[in-house]
Structure 1
Amino acid sequence: MATSKRIIINSIVVLRILTLSACAAAGALIVTNNFKLDGDKTKFSDIRGYRYVLAAAAGGVLYSLIQLPFALYQAVKGKRLINGQFLPMFDFYGDKVIAFFLASGVGVGFGVSIELKLLIDQLLDVLDEFGDKAKKFVDRGTIASGVLLVGFVTMAILTILTSANRNGRAF
């Protein structure tokens, strides 16, 4: 039984690191997403949906940075840093809130990217140069949303593990 609990605790650390990495990568991809055409620069912040993707990624990074030291301590020492129910309940509810926030960021990112891509395809006949640059811009938004999806999936798995780990019960 102790072995399965140890595996769950180590899995939580790995998943928190993966969530942090995916959210940071999604944030970096979306922030660097821009293009220039005839002196006019289009940035990710010009699209409100992409700003939401950045907010979701930043929320995932911040939450992961808060949780990671506690998870590492538990993995190394085999016990919680703070005794009682505060940390297990914080894990339980915090993971769920952040997972839903990341899921909504993924949905917004994909939705905006798909709608922009359809609009660009309709305009391609008129503006070829704009179309190529705009397609790359939208593709990068789609990639950032896909990377954020990885962050959501790892956080969703964490919600399952922290639910089982909440009362000190392992699988």
Structure 2
Amino acid sequence: MENTTTTHSKISTFSFTVLLLRVLTFIFLVMALIFISIDTLPIETSDYAVYEEINFNYVYAYRYMLSTIVIGFAYNLLQMGFSIFTVVSGKRVLSSYGGYLFDFFGDQIISYLLISGSAAEFGYDVQRRRVTNSFTEKANVSASLLLVGFLFTATASIFTSFALPKKAIN
């Protein structure tokens, strides 16, 4: 009887840790999405003093970063729902070995996608030779938040990898 309590306690701690990592990822992805979405730069387009705003749509690296944020956000929202269900009920939504593989490979793919989105923006910034204005500063903040989101997703990936050998043996 003591063994099942210990096992249940370890599973609860493990599930809660993964949920916490997913919530933190969610928070940082939302903040990154907000910063890149509101990022604009007004420019004068003619002698008539007509102003136009440049946004993330004008820079391919920023569009790519936004795409990685949205994809990571959608995946993380799905996994957060699964994690909440697991913490509350004590059961997994995808309890088969395939579910564990989905968690592990999904976390791996999404974490690499998030780091590539962050790297694209930082690379663009270096290419522009560190021209600093409010437009690039907001994009840097978004890329930095995305980088932190990557770290949380990569850490969650490590935790999901711990479940794989146990399920393969059983």
Give the shorter-chain TM-score range. Answer: 0.7 to 0.9
CA distance in 1 between counterparts of 2:142 and 2:130 reads: 20
Is 1:36 equivalent to 2:48 in the alignment?
no
Which runs of no fewer than 5 residues in structure 2 stay unpaired?
1-5, 45-50
- How far has the Cα of 1:87 moved from its partner? 1.5
- On the 8 A contact 1:52/1:105 being kept in 2, the answer is yes
TM score, norm. by length of structure 1:
0.84
Aligned position for 1:139 = 137
- How far has the Cα of 1:168 moved from its partner? 4.5
Measured against aligned partners, the alpha-carbon deviations of 1:66-115 in whole angstroms (never above 9, x if no partner) come to: 11111111111112123322221110110000000001011111111232
TM score, norm. by length of structure 2:
0.85
SS in 2 for 1:37: strand
Q: 1:90 aligns with which of 102, 120, 123?
A: 102
CA distance in 1 between counterparts of 2:83 and 2:34 reads: 25
Corresponding letter in the other structure for 2:61: G
SS in 2 for 1:146: helix
Aligned residue pairs, count: 155
Q: 2:13 aligns with which of 3, 7, 12?
A: 7
Q: Identity of counterpart residues, as a percentage?
A: 26
Map 1:22-171 to 2 at 5 A.
22-38=28-44, 39-116=51-128, 118=129, 120=131, 135-168=133-166
RMSD: 1.6
- On the 8 A contact 2:94/2:100 being kept in 1, the answer is no
- How far has the Cα of 1:119 moved from its partner? 6.2
CA distance in 2 between counterparts of 1:163 and 1:95 reads: 10
CA distance in 1 between counterparts of 2:70 and 2:139 reads: 15
- How far has the Cα of 1:167 moved from its partner? 4.6
